[in-house]
Amino acid sequence: MAIDLKLFLLHAVDLFRRWSAFFGSRRVLARLLSTLLCCVVVEIRPFSKLGGSSAFLVLALKELVFSVQDSLAQQLELTVLNILGAFTGIGVSTLAKYIAAQYPEDSTRSRATCAVFLVCISFVAGLIKSRLPRLNLSMRISCFVSIWILTNDIGIQSQVLVASGNFLWITLSAAVICIFSLLAVMTLLRWSVTNFERDIASTFVVIQDCLREGLALTFPHPNDPPVNLEKYQKLKANLLNRSIKLNETYSQAAFELRIGRLSLRAIRPLIGVVEHLRREIAWGMPLRKRATATHHALSSTFHGHSFQSPPITPLPSPPLPFEHPIVDALEGPAQALGAALLNATRCVEETIVLAFHQADPPARLFSWRPGSAEPDTGKPAKPEPVDIVEAMGHHGWTFSQLAAIQQAEAGLVTARDSAREQLRMVFCDAHVDTGDKLRRAPLIPKEALTCCLAMIALLQMAQEVRVALQVAHRFASRYETSRPRLWYPRLSLAWLGVPPGPFVSDDPLAQSAMLSGTGTEAPVAAADDDYAAPEWRQGLREHAAGVGARHAAMKSARMAGVEVSSTSAQPQLAQDGMRATLAGWFACVWSGHRVLRLRMRLWWVHRAVRHSSHLRHAFKNACGVALLGFPAFLPADSAGRRWFTDAHGQWMVISYLWVLETNTGATWRTGYLRILGTCLGALYAYVTWLICRTNPYGLAILVVAADIPITWLITKSSLGPLAVPASVALPPIVFTRYIDTTSTQPVIILALLRSAMISTGMIVALLMNSLIFPRHARVYFLLDTSRTLGLLTDLYLSLSHDIVQDRHVLTREQRRKTLKLELEIRNSLNRLSAQIITMHNELSLLPKPLRHYRRVVAVLQNILDLMTGLRKIRENIPRKLCVAEVFEERREFMSCVCIALFACQHAFRAREPLPQFLPSARHAFATLEEHVHARLQQARAEDPHALGLSAVYAFAEQQVMRGMVDALEALLEVTGSLFGTSAWLTHESMSTRHEEGDHGWYSTFRWEEV
């Protein structure tokens, strides 16, 4: 009994703490205060009269458009943009009503004028909303006020300015109350700035954890604690997600007001450093794979290693099966360099936090970092961050931190130079047996190759971390000489549209502004509508070749016309000659240079308009408004007009606009959640009316009480589309009788009508987005995957072209092209991940293999990381030994890789099965590896010092290429699982099914599924 009472008290205390933290949030208090103030404004009749019979819409706009945000910068941005949108809608609608008032009341012309203006406003708003997502709410409130103004009192001259004044008061009241509530709460609670600095600092902590796990996995010891492979894989996935989100967070923070000493641009280069470190960990310290049977052309089982699920239980990294002098010699320098990297990244993290969060109490600084001893080195734990901050003080931290940065950089450079020299000495002194038995054996064992790859990755990481230290030193020095100031957002076209996509570049000049994949997918044309550039260029050549022939034909036709016309015996032939002359002249003009350029431009415009997703969304926006708002523009004595007025059909049109999204999956998720929220809100509103009737105090208390769970759903969960309609459904039902005392309609009927109108608009939006120009995420996912595979093929061809050219140093334009291609692929992968999330929300009769789609994205991300590693490693390999003398074998391997990527690209684009047999990249790689090792052995036999540091890069390249072979086979396996295999050699027709041996072909047929 005592134990149960103790547990009950613990649960009660924990619940009290959670609710205290919830009500202590600035946004929660500001939301509740804004709801209360809106209720007061609506209930005080001298104020509510300014809004007319629709004064309760203050609460609706408060929730839909001007909802309280987390920071003042976001609230100011929301207020300014949405007020401008509302003023635009009010102004254009007032102009439309003024023009309509010039015609007789309720005439066809007056009603048509308002209808045409409303459809045009909806079309333009849909176009801007799709093209510039930051103006989404601004365009929606513009349509909101336009619908209410243009569907009431059409053609009545005395009512032209009345509705505009009402909605001007409603808009300004909602905006002022929300921003006032946030400012009032901010006077009690501290104003915190954006979390971009904390995000990037905590990302460096994740990098440290990944580096520790990778070192323990690459250089294992029997007495080491077990390495949790599942944890390591989750850390790498977490690092990838953080690297992607850093770009989004920076894009949001760059357009906000903030107070501080330093600009966020001072730490922007660290975003690229984080991504580079993530890639080097990905290709340099992969998960250790267990030894399994090698898959060859006709093996009876298939093994896919690259994307198999991690083990559920922690698996210890096995010790090396034998000792090797190279592994033993590299272990010490690797551990020393790893320790220097950990110290340097920790120093960068501390500098970021100290420079941007000096106003925070010491207990909150470094709150994400676990305080524990370092198990890998056995050294005692470093002092706690709080002790560090208190020891340095808030004013003199820069001098000590600058000294720490210089010390960390010096230690990193020393460890890097020592590791590089040790690598060179190890391979210069390596013993190579040139006996007949070992001529076909590898130069060094596989374990040593893995260590070589890890060492190269550590050396590359040292360069990146040194750049991070220099950036930290720069903004720490600037902190000492700067003063606190107000940083304004830098407004641009990117601020209005989707924020710039992730930008990671080794070359500062290679900049590319790409769109992220949240709301605007890259336009992908259908297969039959995709005109390749070589095709129409060939058409131009044919036109150019035919010009001479056409000129000759025209000349002969003119001559024939002259000769025939000279004789009066053949007038018909003369007329035919003149017709041929006119036809030839027209063909000449049609194929002329200027006309041809005009035709090309018109073709590009036609193609862009035909495949523009923005125009399609604008058409659906206007079409739905025209369909649902049609009864409002019927004659006043018609049944449709009376029904629309009595049922307040405006809510039907507004709910349609609020549910219609740019893709089908988002529309479905938003739609069914909003329908459910509307029904719940209508039910609560009816209960509130039964309890309070027209009592203003009771109405305000119950409306604010309903806002508590609504606020929790909006701020603490992902069910915002359910909570917002519930809040919007309350005012039209609760305050109708309070504002309009002459209304005789029963409240239960009113509640049913409101919920029915709102639900009808949502259902129409679902049908519109599903039947007219549907944008199914699955279709776009498959097309974008095909496009990404094509980009990967282009990237690999570019890397292969760069390595075989005579110049060892790439030009700036070549480097820019390669980095731009890598950036485009990364953006495509981010878009694919977003489409999988959207696909999960779509309703489909056929089940969607989302697990396989996620595997596809993971494998493509792995291939991109490996290609990035190849680009960096190939800058230092010996070209003569590893490229020129093995050109045929390297060409064979490159062809196998490109054919495999092309086969998968075709399968995803056409949704056709793979061929059963493809050239084996593993077989080609084994041949290439054998010849490279033979050339290196031969060079070592001729010159004992031939195996220097460049040979280490050659061995690292072999490891990365082996990882690419595994990734390609994994890609072929998952592609075959999705689309099947065109098998012609099966167990029924194959007598030599168990024939062993590798014939240079890879089989995509899965025998275990037969």
The answer on 167 and 212 residing in a single domain is no
The enclosing H or E element of 919 equals strand 917-919
Q: Give the whole-angstrom CA distance, residue 946 versus residue 429.
A: 10
Same domain, 623 and 695: yes
Same domain for 204 and 153: no
Q: How confident is the model at residue 950 (pLDDT cuts 50, 70, 90)?
A: confident
Cβ-Cβ contacts under 8 Å for 433 (sequence gap 6 or more): none
Q: Evaluate if residue 515 carries a pLDDT over 70.
A: no
CA-based torsion, 139, 142, 148, 151: positive or negative = negative
What are the phi and psi torsion angles at 519 (to 5°)?
-125, -10
| 516: in domain | no
Answer whether residue 58 shows pLDDT above 80. yes
Residues 383 and 446 in one domain: yes
- The pLDDT of residue 694 is above 70: yes
- Please, what is the Cα angle at 923 between 919 and 927, to 5 degrees? 125
Query: Is residue 620 a contact partner of residue 125, using CB atoms and an 8 Å limit?
Result: no
**If 0-12 CB within 10 Å is exposed, 13-18 middle and 19+ buried, where does residue 1 land?**
exposed
Q: Return the minimum-mean-pLDDT range out of 174-178, 318-322, 472-476, 679-683.
A: 318-322
What's the pLDDT tens digit per position in 903-943?
A: 999 999 988 889 888 999 999 999 998 888 888 888 877 77
Position 703 pLDDT exceeds 90:
yes
Q: Is residue 891 part of a domain?
A: yes
Strand, helix or coil for residue 47: helix
Residue 492, domain member (yes or no):
no
CATH number where 932 lies = 1.20.58
Is the pLDDT assigned to residue 630 strictly greater than 70? Answer: yes
Residue 613 pLDDT greater than 90, yes or no = no
537 lies in the same domain as 659: no
Helix and strand numbers (H, E) in the chain are 34, 6
Higher-pLDDT residue of 732, 539:
732
Per the CB < 8 A criterion, the answer to whether 114 and 96 are in contact is yes
Same structural domain, 837 and 971:
yes
Mean pLDDT is lowest, of 460-474, 573-587, 734-748, for 573-587
Domain co-membership, 91 together with 110? yes
Q: Does residue 383 sit within a domain? A: yes
Closest CA to 724 of 22, 64, 27: 64
Residue 207 belongs to some domain of the structure: yes
Q: What single letter denotes the amino acid at residue 970?
A: A
Query: Hey, what's the torsion of the CAs at 370, 372, 374, 376, to 10 degrees?
Result: -80
Q: Are residues 914 and 863 in the same domain?
A: yes
**CA gap 519, 828 in Å, rounded:** 13
Same domain, 428 and 340: yes
pLDDT at 578: 59
Residue the block writes with tokens 């250089």: 219
Average pLDDT score, the chain: 78
Task: Enter the tokens of residue 595.
Answer: 């006309």
Dump pLDDT digits (tens) for 416-466: 999 888 888 877 665 544 444 444 455 567 777 788 888 899 999 999 999
Domain boundary among 771, 805, 825: 771
CB atoms within 10 A of CB 693: 12
Return the pLDDT at 105.
85
Q: Which of 156-160, 292-296, 1004-1008 has the lowest mean pLDDT?
A: 292-296
Contact, 996 vs 867, CB < 8 A?
no
β 258-260/485-487 pair status: antiparallel
pLDDT at 11 over 60: yes
Domain final position from 771, 798, 814: 771
| 243 & 326 share domain | yes
Please state, in angstroms and as integers, the Cα–Cα distance from residue 610 to each residue in 523, 524, 527, 965, following that order.
11, 12, 14, 40
Q: Do both 663 and 738 map to the same domain?
A: yes
- The whole-angstrom separation of Cα 411 and Cα 926 is 40
Number of Cβ within 10 Å of residue 562's Cβ equals 11
Of 587, 610, 633, the residue that ends a domain is 610
Residue 867 reports pLDDT greater than 70: yes
* Residue 660 is assigned to a structural domain of this protein: yes
Q: Which of 1008 and 399 is assigned the larger pLDDT?
A: 399
Q: Does residue 494 fall inside a structural domain?
A: no
Q: Which residues span the domain enclosing 535?
A: 527-610
**Quick check: is 9 in a domain?**
no
In this prediction the pTM is 0.78
> Span 316-322, mean pLDDT?
40
Bin 259: left if φ > 0, else alpha if -120 < ψ < 50, else beta: beta
Average pLDDT over residues 799-806: 74
Written as one letter, the residue type at 59 is: L
Task: Burial-class residue 482 by CB neighbours within 10 Å (0-12, 13-18, 19+).
Answer: middle
627 membership: H or E segment, kind and range: helix 613-629
Q: Residues 391, 373: one domain?
A: yes
How many distinct structural domains can be found in the chain? Answer: 4
The full DSSP string for 727-777 is HHHHHHHHSHHHH-TT--S-HHHHHHHHHHHHHHHHHHHHHHHHHSS---H
